[in-house]
Amino acid sequence: MAAGLDKPVSKAALRQQARLARLGLPAQVRSSKSAAIASRLSRLKVFKEAQTVFLFAGVGPEVDTSFIIQMAQQQRKAVALPRVILPGRELEFRRVESLGLHTEPGPFSIPEPKTSCPLVPREEADLVIVPGLAFDRSGHRIGSGAGFYDRWLAKSPFIPRVGILFEVQLFDSLPAEDHDQPVHWLVTESRAIRCSCKDEG
């Protein structure tokens, strides 16, 4: 169920609230919900039509994106994952065929593509699937606070964006700043929401 905000709450407090809600899901429940998210995502037209999907490797209590990666590759879609570029705090995406063989721990201990993986220009992305700690029905998101995705998305305004999340991470509304980059769709284990209009089921 979505959470509402009766009074202004800081992003730091919202991050903590969303983290605790996500951590409250047992591992087996997170896994089954992640599979349901992948299944629901597969029914979106924007996913069906995409040939190259920019994704991320979900870790810990995040949505397990291995279901989506496997599904995309079974449909012969190209899958690219982000690699953090320091000190500029930017992202680049590289194509992967196997999470185990073609990734290595990045600076934040998140699996990233090895530098031997082919670099995929942003212009080739048909869809980008975005992580976040919290989302609202308008598509606003709160991430970890580093701003990697906001910077990347600001340079890619025409690429369709889907936020994937558990229902416990969905809020009625979130504070948004000028630099925050919203997503166009949300997919949870229960529904898909087009953020500019009503639920798609």
Predicted local confidence at residue 167, as pLDDT: 97
In a domain, 156, yes or no: yes
In a domain, 33, yes or no: yes
* Calpha distance 137→196 (Å, rounded): 9
Looking at the structure of the chain, the number of domains it has is 1
In a domain, 18, yes or no: no
Predicted local confidence at residue 7, as pLDDT: 56
Ramachandran class of 76: left when φ > 0, alpha when ψ lies in -120 to 50, beta otherwise: left
- Parts of the chain with a pLDDT under 70: 1-8, 196-201
In a domain, 93, yes or no: yes
In a domain, 16, yes or no: no
In a domain, 165, yes or no: yes
CATH no. for residue 55?
Answer: 3.40.50.10420
In a domain, 14, yes or no: no
3-state class of 161 per DSSP? strand
Predicted local confidence at residue 160, as pLDDT: 96
Predicted local confidence at residue 5, as pLDDT: 46
Question: Which structural domain, as residue segments, surrounds residue 68?
Answer: 25-194
Predicted local confidence at residue 4, as pLDDT: 47
Predicted local confidence at residue 176, as pLDDT: 80
Q: Are 172 and 4 in contact (CB under 8 A)?
A: yes
Predicted local confidence at residue 195, as pLDDT: 92
Predicted local confidence at residue 86, as pLDDT: 83
Q: Are 2 and 186 in contact (CB under 8 A)?
A: no
Predicted local confidence at residue 179, as pLDDT: 80
